[in-house]
Structure 1
Amino acid sequence: MITHKRPHRHLALLWALVVCLLVGHNAWLWLGKRIVPDTDILALLPADQRDPVLQQSFTHMVDSAQQRVVILVGAAEWNDARRAADAWSAALAPHADLLRLDAAGDEVQAGWLDGLQAHATLLISKEQENQLREQPAGFWLESALGRLYGAFGGPKLGAFRDDPFGLLAGWMQERAGETPVRPRDGRLFVAGQGREYVLLTYTLQQPAFSLAAQRQVVPLLDQAGAAAQRAVPGVEVIKAGVVLHAAAAGRQASSEVETIGLGSLAGIVLLTWLTFRSVKPITLVLLAIGIGFLGALSVCWLLFGRIHLLTLVFGASLIGVAQDYGIYFLCHRLGADPALDSPRLLRRLLPGLGLTLLAAVIGYMGLALTPFPGLRHMAVFSALGLVFAWLTVACWFPALVKARDMRAGWLARRYTGLAARWPRVSASPATLALLALLGAGALLGCMRLTVNDDIRSLQSSPPQLVQDQIKLGKLLDVPSPVQYYLVRGATDQQVLQREEALKRKLDPLIAQGHIAGYQALSNWVPSAQTQRERLALVEGRLLGAEGPLAALAQQVGEDRGWVEATRTHLLSRAAPMSPDAFLRTPASEPWRHLWIGEVGGVRASIVALRGMRYASIPVLERAAEGLEGVQWVDKVGGISAVLGRYRAYMGWVVLGAYALVYLVLFPRYRGRTWRVLAPTAAASVLTLALLGLSGQSLQLFHVLALMLLLGVGVDYGIFMQERHGKDGDAPWLAVGLSAANTLLSFGLLALSGTPALRAFGLTMLAGTALVWLAAPCFILSEEETHAETVYA
């Protein structure tokens, strides 16, 4: 016995050294290097799909909204809305270091003209440009006289000489038409649905996804809302902002951790106590899983130099399969002869334990065959985690678990003999009839199963926040940040020209009601070619020797000197415009996100759409066809397509993993190999059928759960086929305890309010329960087992 113990003691010490190195390396990564997991979803995509310009465009659109908090304070009367808004602003005024109030009202109106005076003669609306080409000189003379003498001729922006024909005023009205918001009494005003609203916009001074910011902002907004209600009872407050959705998700996650997480942990500890009358076994199992996580993280960091947050989350759940190894050993230790020491027991169990590890690693490494870097990282992380956890069981459990440590609890005693009374799969008429009935139900359910990869189906924000977002979007006519046109070119001017070509194709779509309008930097900064054409139009149609300007001078009694002075003045306000110069003016602040600038040697911009209907997406996509450098971007559709490709790849990976696992198991089990895989395969098919019958749509997270189910279910099949006569009920107890822990760990996710986790949990709940019930049905009789089992 000493000859068995001493080598194993050396092995345990060697593994202790490895674990110390892992702990030290992880401490250095988190505390010394202070690594931050990658959260960029595009980092998970194949390299050929990671378009840096496209990625930057999405970042521009998201960042423009991410740090913004938008508030509408509304009442039936404008004065009431003003009082409530003032009370709201006063409540937040002391917290400008967290929420900075953006400029509003008269400040915004004044900012429109800043930096534009030098280019005013070039700023002409589309309608007026057409009129310049089509209308006679008399039209423009009447227009100028009307502006000069008419009581309602419109605003006189500066001196009459600055804009005698109202071109700048018309252009500014066109720009104002890009939003329903108007200045009023020093505030921003919008009306709709029988109410008048004050618009307040704040810029969040901390990252919207910062937990500290969320904990501070939400209570402050609640306090401001209460102040508005006290000032004007019944006032309506509409709030929108990424920070609100992030805070809601954080609260939901915290709640689920407290309920589902703590509930499952308590259930696992209780089951372990009822089985072994000790918490030592669960401590050892958790120790193995923890070392698996640390080892996987260290090696993945050394291999890839980075780690993605989703890899940590999903990988941590996958290596939860590692509990099976420890439970398998503990249950056999409980049922083994006390005279048999733990190292010799391990040697007897090693063939089955080794096959469970190999089958699981093969299943998860199938992910590495896909072209998605994210899945490859998850595969390597999960496989490494299983290996490190398995080595922990093999190296430490024999030294830490003695026969005297194990005592059968109430659950272990009640579980005795159940497997022997379980129905078996055979060729009897009753069995065949039951199988036919299950097959028909599975076929019916799978035929009813639909597919839905739409990312919007994974949204889990509170209904009130969603309703506020929709209402605010309608009132403010806010462009969608996830559907837009991306325009590229070699130079700024080429980008502007391509924007203008796109706008000519979009104008008919406005008339047809597909969109309400568009926002583009070329609305503010025409291309150099357009600027030259407009200047030529103004000079030729308005400022000529016999043109409307000269006729106007005769009408108002001015001489030719006045004509020349006015002409010179207007031409002096026709300096060429450039995007860079405009972006430095205060008027550009709301539109800066539309200009991407240079990315990888390419210049790019965004054309955003207002009032877009989702039903019009195919029409809008076709509008970009044939336009060089113009790309329709549907981020919702793009991410949904990625999820669909992940789901399809994962489906094939699951099937391939079954084939590989079968080939690995065949040399040991020969004709019984199908019995190892049959419980998991049957449970997977029945789970899909249940999803179809219950009206669920198949998505990526269902398929990912099926991959995890393969790793779990193969363990159960191997455990049941590794039964020896002297083992008694140890394999069946190991399957039952492992399945119960899996149901508590993953099945309870079915209660989650997050759709993705709920889909994962529902699949694991149904699948694990079905594998548990099916595993004993495929074992052989005692006589057949005795005859066919190969002893380790």
Structure 2
Amino acid sequence: MPTSARRGIVLLAWLAGLTLLTVWNGFHLRLGADLSQFLPPGASQRDRVLLSQVRGGVAARTLLLRLRGERSTEALAAASRALAARLRTEAAFEQVLNGELNLAASVTDDLLFRYRYLIGPPDACVDALAAPALRAALEARLAELASGASMLDRQRLAADPTACYRQLLRALRPGQEPHRQHGVWFSPDDRHALMVVVTDARASDLAVQRRLVERIESDFATLPQRAGLTLELAGPGYFAVSSERRIKTEAIAFSLLANVIVVAILALAFRSTTLVLLGMLPLLSGVMVGTALVSWLFGSVHGITLALGSTLLGVAMDYPVHVYAHATGALDVRPIWRTLLLGMATTVLGYAALAWTSLEGLSQLGMLAAAGLITAALTSCYLLPQLIPAGYRLPEHRWPAALQARLPQGSPRLGFRLLLVSLAGLGLVLLLHGSPWETDLRRLSTVPAAEIEKDRTIRTQLGAADVTRLLYVVADDEAGVLERLEAALPDLRQLEAQGLIAGSDNLARWLPSPHTQQARQAALPERAALTETLAVANAGLPFRSDRLAPFLDAVERSASLAPLRVADLSGGLLGTRAALLLQSFDGGWLGLVPLSGVNDEAAVTALQALAARHRLQYLDLREGTAGLLTGFFETTLHKLPIAAFAIVLTLALALRGWSRLGRVLLPISIAVTLTFLLVLLIHGGINLFHLVSLILVAGLNIDYSLFLERPSDDTAERLRTLFSVSVAAGPTIAAFGLLALSAIPALQSIGLTVAIGSCLAYALSLWLARAQPIG
């Protein structure tokens, strides 16, 4: 078969395979943005509770809304009420809170009224049925009627003369509320109307979160009252949606710019449009194969995994460069195959350390990068040489040799001294700095700092700046949870009175345990006794006894009611609120008490003591995630030496000489050490993405060292090697340097680390190369 025909068949088959993979990814790719995928799965019950709240707790499903504009507070309040009314028609919004008191209407009003003596505050309900308390209650009602003040419960007076139901409604209100104007929540400066929306979807369920965010935006856009107003959103769900948009936007922008730079460098180096276009095929193949594999195995691909994995696969551009640089007239590139595949194998072993972790996000990343590199290397070795135009000759480039000649004379001894100095410097910094690991999950975020600050500001305006601390209890049944929660109520009230905490949301405050409800039933007087008590209490007062018969009927019925449970409240605001605070968990039940205003160590100490007394657990989500991340770093550091040993063993078997092995590993060791030190000094800590990027730095340096260390007496071959390594380094440094400018913290961390590391890797490899500078 003629060479041109074979070339055409290979190209068409390759393009057809790429097209099929692209179509498959287009239909099956689901992008995720749940940062908890970069947290290890919890082993203990505490860790499982922590992860359940990080992934799907109230805080993770809460959207914060803020209306602002140069309008009067009346106009802002009207817009808040109108928007809230529209959002409450969406079933996926479990709670829409803007300060309007509508608690009873959200659940069957008769249900709460019927159960008031079992669940209402005792002093206004059960305890108020004794003669002195009942007399005081009747006198208070009489005074209210005489004052002419508006009474929302006037129509219920005959059935509820002690105002038990009114006090129950007050108990249902949150313990701490934001500033209120015109019946809705406002910021303290009255410039913003505030709203809280709790969805029924996890922040990681992007399809649902996207629809809900768009619903909020569209409802606001069609409000007649919206003129001159702006809607601002914050919260995990909104951040997940905006992060997806931002990742896609930045990935496209950086990819386009990076591709322009890569194309320009390759075009200048090889002066062939055909080679530039063909050189993209191994990289595209690697990205498509890796993405398809991860999508198939995990069901979705995290946005950071895709963005980072595609970027990490930029090292795959080295493979076509080496093939082109070493191609002879007969297109014989087999002499470099062994070196190229060895470099690929050692880099894949590094990524295997990621795939081996218990973090789904990093496992995805390791698999994507490893599968992509294998695909790119194999296609570069076995398919690309068949597509190089016949008669192609590499242009002569002597600038890499001139650049190497300008470097100081290197030697293994000098390199070893530099390594010792680098390690000593790193040790000194660690001694002064302490633990180098960055364990604040917020700094791993895909959300820009300005958005995080907006979220913090809105939470402060809502009076709920601290939403990461809670008490929890796990029990076999609902009753067991409620009994332990209600036992803690007096101590929680005392901490609030002392100012140690600003507030808490304890379900037992308005839904006592079945045992307590039954005890209150037992304390209810029988009808005959209550009739006599009422007569004594009403003596001399103008209330007609026959008109108070509904009161006697209500108390009598209360004695025979079954205890009220969470399931009885389903379908309304209170049911939703109860379901948020009492959840099924590990075959039992999990009760939560969110805390606000826990601002100092004295409060934390008091809460921990309270938890110990009542068999509860105190949990700080931020500290908990930090602990999980610290555990991850420790676990990973135990695994990385195993991966490093596998890499060294592979190199030793392939190079067959300790001196050659030392020349390859020395620049790697120096580059990684110096990169770690510089990133620690610049960033102030090493996070997950820095650690991942250091693996890439090692992989790049292995490639550079392996090619420059190849023994050759052929000056032309040595020049080609210098040229291929230099051209391969250029696009990597440029692409990751661009990524360091990203507004997304995670991508910025990656760009900074690899840009520094690739510069060091290239310079050190040239400096310590076995080949002498070529004149």
Q: Which interval holds the TM-score relative to the shorter structure? A: 0.7 to 0.9
Q: Is the 8 A contact 1:525 1:577 kept in 2?
A: no
| Corresponding residue to 2:748 among 741, 755, 758 | 758
State the distance in 2 between where 1:438 and 1:64 align. 43
| Corresponding residue to 2:320 among 318, 321, 326 | 326
Q: Is the 8 A contact 2:502 2:596 kept in 1?
A: yes
Instruction: Check if 1:684 corresponds to 2:684.
Output: no
Hey, what does 2:183 align to over in structure 1? Answer: 188
Instruction: Check if 1:168 corresponds to 2:165.
Output: yes
Please state how far the C-alpha of 1:262 moved relative to its aligned partner.
2.5
Q: Is the 8 A contact 2:29 2:295 kept in 1?
A: no
Structure 1 window deviating more from structure 2 (680-689 vs 317-326): it is 317-326
Please state how far the C-alpha of 1:772 moved relative to its aligned partner.
0.9
Instruction: Check if 1:732 corresponds to 2:686.
Output: no
Q: 1:372 to 1:83 in 2, by over 3 A?
A: closer
Hey, what does 2:354 align to over in structure 1? Answer: 367
Map residues 711-730 of structure 1 onto 2, 5 A cutoff: 711-726=699-714, 727-730=717-720
Q: What is the identity, as a one-letter code, of the residue corresponding to 1:591?
A: R
Instruction: Check if 1:701 corresponds to 2:689.
Output: yes
Q: Is the 8 A contact 1:61 1:593 kept in 2?
A: no
- Please report the RMSD computed on the Cα atoms of aligned residues, expressed in angstroms: 4.6
State the distance in 2 between where 1:534 and 1:182 align. 36
Please state how far the C-alpha of 1:390 moved relative to its aligned partner.
1.2
Q: Cα deviation per residue 1:10-54 (whole Å; 9 max; x = unaligned)?
A: 9997998688567546634643xx353565555663474697776
State the distance in 1 between where 2:540 and 2:286 align. 91
Map residues 26-65 of structure 1 onto 2, 5 A cutoff: 27-28=23-24, 30-31=26-27, 34=28, 36=30, 45-46=40-41, 48=43, 61-62=57-58, 65=61
Please state how far the C-alpha of 1:455 moved relative to its aligned partner.
1.1
Q: What is the identity, as a one-letter code, of the residue corresponding to 1:774?
A: L
Hey, what does 1:119 align to over in structure 2? Answer: 115
Q: 1:494 to 1:351 in 2, by over 3 A?
A: same
Hey, what does 2:273 align to over in structure 1? Answer: 279
Q: What is the identity, as a one-letter code, of the residue corresponding to 2:722?
A: W
Hey, what does 1:424 align to over in structure 2? Answer: 409
Structure 2 portions without partners, runs of 5+? none
State the distance in 1 between where 2:483 and 2:26 align. 50
Q: Cα deviation per residue 1:607-662 (whole Å; 9 max; x = unaligned)?
A: 2223333754465355433655x444433333333333333333444444333322
Q: Is the 8 A contact 1:114 1:586 kept in 2?
A: no
Structure 1 window deviating more from structure 2 (83-92 vs 144-153): it is 83-92
Q: Cα deviation per residue 1:584-607 (whole Å; 9 max; x = unaligned)?
A: 364515614425544553233432
Map residues 449-598 of structure 1 onto 2, 5 A cutoff: 449=433, 450-459=436-445, 461=447, 465-466=451-452, 468-478=454-464, 482-539=468-525, 544=529, 549-556=534-541, 566-573=551-558, 575-584=561-570, 586-588=572-574, 591-598=577-584
Q: What is the identity, as a one-letter code, of the residue corresponding to 1:567?
A: L
Please state how far the C-alpha of 1:265 moved relative to its aligned partner.
1.6
Q: What is the identity, as a one-letter code, of the residue corresponding to 1:700?
A: L
Q: What is the identity, as a one-letter code, of the residue corresponding to 2:280?
A: L
Hey, what does 1:353 align to over in structure 2? Answer: 340
Q: The residue matched to 1:676 in structure 2 has which SS?
A: helix
Structure 1 window deviating more from structure 2 (637-646 vs 351-360): it is 637-646
Q: How many residues align?
A: 753
Q: Cα deviation per residue 1:243-267 (whole Å; 9 max; x = unaligned)?
A: 6545654564455346533322211
Q: 1:564 to 1:617 in 2, by over 3 A?
A: same
Q: The residue matched to 2:483 in structure 1 has which SS?
A: helix
Q: 1:555 to 1:245 in 2, by over 3 A?
A: same
Q: What is the identity, as a one-letter code, of the residue corresponding to 1:454?
A: D
- TM-score, length of structure 2 as denominator length: 0.82
| Corresponding residue to 2:72 among 74, 77, 80 | 80
State the distance in 2 between where 1:307 and 1:251 align. 15
Q: The residue matched to 2:72 in structure 1 has which SS?
A: helix
State the distance in 1 between where 2:49 and 2:199 align. 26
Structure 1 window deviating more from structure 2 (44-53 vs 282-291): it is 44-53
Structure 1 portions without partners, runs of 5+? 231-235, 786-792
Map residues 548-697 of structure 1 onto 2, 5 A cutoff: 549-556=534-541, 566-573=551-558, 575-584=561-570, 586-588=572-574, 591-599=577-585, 601-613=587-599, 615=601, 616-617=603-604, 619-625=606-612, 627-628=614-615, 630-667=616-653, 668=655, 669-694=657-682, 696-697=684-685
Q: Is the 8 A contact 1:106 1:183 kept in 2?
A: no
Hey, what does 1:769 align to over in structure 2? Answer: 759
Q: Is the 8 A contact 1:518 1:608 kept in 2?
A: yes
State the distance in 1 between where 2:162 and 2:115 align. 16
Q: Cα deviation per residue 1:225-276 (whole Å; 9 max; x = unaligned)?
A: 994548xxxxx98754556545654564455346533322211111111111
Map residues 775-790 of structure 1 onto 2, 5 A cutoff: 775-781=765-771
State the distance in 2 between where 1:674 and 1:183 align. 71
Q: Is the 8 A contact 1:179 1:477 kept in 2?
A: yes
Q: 1:192 to 1:265 in 2, by over 3 A?
A: closer
Instruction: Check if 1:380 corresponds to 2:370.
Output: no
Q: The residue matched to 1:162 in structure 2 has which SS?
A: coil
Q: Is the 8 A contact 1:520 1:608 kept in 2?
A: yes
Q: Cα deviation per residue 1:348-387 (whole Å; 9 max; x = unaligned)?
A: 1122123212211222223344444544443333222222
Hey, what does 2:732 align to over in structure 1? Answer: 742
Please state how far the C-alpha of 1:471 moved relative to its aligned partner.
4.2
State the distance in 1 between where 2:162 and 2:286 align. 77
Q: Is the 8 A contact 1:88 1:228 kept in 2?
A: no
Q: What is the identity, as a one-letter code, of the residue corresponding to 2:262?
A: I
Please state how far the C-alpha of 1:753 moved relative to its aligned partner.
1.1
State the distance in 2 between where 1:246 and 1:38 align. 8
Hey, what does 1:790 align to over in structure 2? Answer: none
Hey, what does 1:159 align to over in structure 2? Answer: 156
State the distance in 2 between where 1:442 and 1:678 align. 17
Hey, what does 1:788 align to over in structure 2? Answer: none
Q: 1:535 to 1:88 in 2, by over 3 A?
A: closer
Q: What is the identity, as a one-letter code, of the residue corresponding to 2:404?
A: A
Please state how far the C-alpha of 1:740 moved relative to its aligned partner.
1.4
Please state how far the C-alpha of 1:528 moved relative to its aligned partner.
1.2
Q: What is the identity, as a one-letter code, of the residue corresponding to 1:382?
A: A
| Corresponding residue to 1:396 among 368, 379, 383 | 383
Q: The residue matched to 1:195 in structure 2 has which SS?
A: coil
Q: What is the identity, as a one-letter code, of the residue corresponding to 1:569?
A: A
Q: What is the identity, as a one-letter code, of the residue corresponding to 1:86?
A: A
State the distance in 2 between where 1:433 and 1:63 align. 52
Q: The residue matched to 2:762 in structure 1 has which SS?
A: helix
Q: Cα deviation per residue 1:136-170 (whole Å; 9 max; x = unaligned)?
A: 85355334322323556994723333222333323
Please state how far the C-alpha of 1:395 moved relative to its aligned partner.
0.9
Please state how far the C-alpha of 1:773 moved relative to its aligned partner.
0.8
Hey, what does 1:233 align to over in structure 2? Answer: none
